[in-house]
Amino acid sequence: IHGVWPDHTDYIMYDCNPNKEFKKIYDKHLLNKLESRWPQLTSNEYAGLNDQTFWKYEYEKHGLCCEKVYDRSQYFDIAMKLKDSIDLLNILTTNRIVPGFQYSYTGDQIRSAIKRVTQKDPNPKCTYSKGGLELLEIGI
């Protein structure tokens, strides 16, 4: 999971409250759940759990936009529930789409595999890597 970004039909929601800062999470149970579902891939596990840099970034950039509706705990709970309900890796693997440079798939193959399960049009994003396109992320 990269993040949970609230949407509004009239404007883009990010950096809604730049003066408010993220308070570190100390609840060990919540930290373990977050680390297993939303690992901070920019650091090792120890640094991620201690510094919480990526979770802090995502919450300050996006989570604070919905703080009147969802508090910090609820924001992270929603992220984990979404991750659990839409297991993209499992969806792709079930449709014989597996990660690795030795395999190649079209955007239509990836989109249709996900849409069959979610009933939503996914938004795959790719990047150029090693002379070809590489799947970077999938927005739902």
- pLDDT tens, 87-112? 888 999 999 998 877 788 888 999 99
- Say if residue 6's pLDDT is above 80: no
Domain that includes residue 121, residue range: 88-139
Domain boundary among 66, 85, 104: 85
Angle at 59 between CA 56 and CA 138, to 5 degrees: 105
Task: Flag whether the pTM goes above 0.85.
Answer: no
- Say if residue 128's pLDDT is above 70: yes
Same structural domain for residues 27 and 9? yes
Averaged pLDDT of the chain: 87
Confidence of residue 2 (pLDDT cuts 50, 70, 90): confident
- Identify which has the larger pLDDT, 56 or 43: 56
Same structural domain for residues 128 and 76? no
Same structural domain for residues 97 and 51? no
- Identify which has the larger pLDDT, 57 or 13: 57
CATH classification of the domain holding 7: 3.90.730.10
| Number of domains comprising the chain | 2
Same structural domain for residues 100 and 78? no
Which residues are catalytic, by number? 2, 58, 62
Enumerate the H helices of the chain as residue ranges: 28-37, 45-51, 53-61, 72-85, 88-94, 107-118
